[in-house]
Chains A and B, each alone.
Chain A
Amino acid sequence: MSENASVGLVLISHSRALAEGAADVAAQVGGDAGRIVGIGGTEDGRLGTSLDALVTAVEKVAGEAGTVIIPDLGSSVLTARAYLAEDAGRHGAVVVADAPFVEGAVAAAVAAAAGAGLDEVVAAAEGARDVRKT
């Protein structure tokens, strides 16, 4: 499998710690740390989201299999939508998944590491919505 053959994942949150932590967990369960990146916060370390940072992150993981963006909430969602509106097509197929942040990231990371296609990875992430904890 060539380096960028699997689907790339970008997790975006207001909090860099939250996004990077979720990416760490997903990468460890998925076993493929190179294809997942978590971004969040402003350049000076405050809470926030940045379209520029999202573009850079997609550039980093994008490959022939496409990229899935998983936003947490609020302006992360708006920034992800803004990406689709403004940057669509420049880095191949990019889909925003409507999924729980951590669970969706883990399910997507495992599917991507197993070689699933873009639609399957999105479905894995969105299927996380129905998993009960009690």
Chain B
Amino acid sequence: MSARPDVTGGPVAGRTDQVVEQCVVLPADLHARPAGQVTRAVSAYDAVVLLDVDGRDLVDARSVLAVMGLGAVTGQTVTIRGTGLDAVAAVAAVAAVLAAAQPLVT
């Protein structure tokens, strides 16, 4: 068994030695409400999920205030990186939330 994280070979659910990574180009600013959705989505899974924006600001997706603090705006790329037993599902759930982010209606 290889100890090397298996990224290119395709993620497998239930493995703890892999890093699952997915990028989402934000269709809207990552304001308070979608940040809350991100944190709630991650909380359902046994996984550690970190986010960065354009290669900086690595934050824990379980902290809603840290996710808001990214200050990520429309068009920026968020990289979602998960490890742990449920990493595949957790990263997919966060990606789905980010991809569905709506502009604020004022």
Contact = CB atoms under 8 A, between A and B. Distances in A.
Interface of A: 25, 28-31, 103, 106-107, 109-111, 113-116, 124, 127-128, 131-133
Given A25-B32, A30-B36, A31-B37, A114 B65 contact: no
B64 A115 contact: no
Interface string B32-68: 1101110110011000000000000000000111100
A99 B28 CA distance: 30
Nearest to A103: B65
Interface string B8-46: 000000000000000000000000110111011001100
A114 B40 contact: yes
Contact of B40 (A103, A106, A113, A131): A113
Interface of B: 32-33, 35-37, 39-40, 43-44, 63-66, 69
A110 B40 contact: yes
26 contacts: A25-B32, A28-B32, A28-B36, A29-B32, A29-B33, A29-B36, A30-B40, A31-B36, A31-B40, A103-B65, A106-B32, A106-B65, A107-B64, A107-B65, A109-B36, A110-B36, A110-B40, A110-B64, A111-B43, A113-B36, A113-B40, A115-B43, A124-B64, A127-B65, A131-B63, A131-B69
Contacts of B36: 28-31, 106, 109-110, 113
Contacts of B66: 131
Main secondary structure, interface of A, reads helix
Given A28-B33, A127-B63, A110 B39 contact: yes
Contacts of A113: 36, 40
